[in-house]
Structure 1
């Protein structure tokens, strides 16, 4: 959890000079999607966390944008 918080602060909360808190909050779901679906994680052999679920072709979670 501590590593996640450090990463969120570095890559989302303080990575950009947001116009206001509402704009920062609007960016959170976008950042979380990237973090969980696309961002390589060193502890997972450079794979994103979603790869640990072993999703099959017919699983709706595979349908993401």
Structure 2
């Protein structure tokens, strides 16, 4: 099984989060960033599942 590392690009820098980074959201709890597009993040939350959120609504942990 091959694993590719995420490439850091302008979209990730703009959001302030990296793919794979652990984050916390007040309503959805803890999760992991799967993708970033500008300030929009796709996060897999432990209890709430897959969600798209704006980066200002989560904090890195």
Give me the TM-score of the superposition, normalised by structure 1: 0.21
Q: Which has the higher contact order (CA 8 A, sep 6+)?
A: 2
Relative to total residues, which structure has the larger helix share, 1 or 2?
1
Give me the TM-score of the superposition, normalised by structure 2: 0.21
Relative to total residues, which structure has the larger strand share, 1 or 2?
2
Structure of larger gyration radius: 1
